Amino acid sequence: MDGDKFGFRDPPFFLLTGWMSHPRSKDPLHGITLEKILTELVERHGWEEMGHRISIRCFQFDPSIKSSLAFLRKTPWARAKVEQWYVQGKPAE
């Protein structure tokens, strides 16, 4: 007999795509990288505003995406503030 025990030669489409097994996450940050968050905040507000809003040196003195990423990845409280600010300013979907 060709195919599997159900008579399918190939797996059904929904098994290949996984569309039934992965419901959409309710996490507003799901799939968004920290780098994307920082980049959007810099474009929207600029480093000066970011340094006023969240008082951390990597936003205030010689700011860059690279140095900010390094600091935020090691500092959970600062990352949480940045993520919260991003989510609050994000338009509803």
57-92 pLDDT tens trace: 999 999 999 999 999 999 999 999 999 999 998 765
Single-letter amino acid code for the residue at 90: K
- pLDDT number for residue 2: 56
Q: Where are the chain's structural domains?
A: 26-89
* Burial (Cβ within 10 Å: 0-12, 13-18, ≥19) of residue 58: buried
Angstrom distance (rounded) from CA 38 to CA 34: 6
User: Taking the complete model, does pTM exceed 0.75, yes or no?
Assistant: no
- The 3-state DSSP class for residue 85 equals helix
- State the average pLDDT over residues 7-18: 59
CATH tag, 26-89: 1.10.720.30
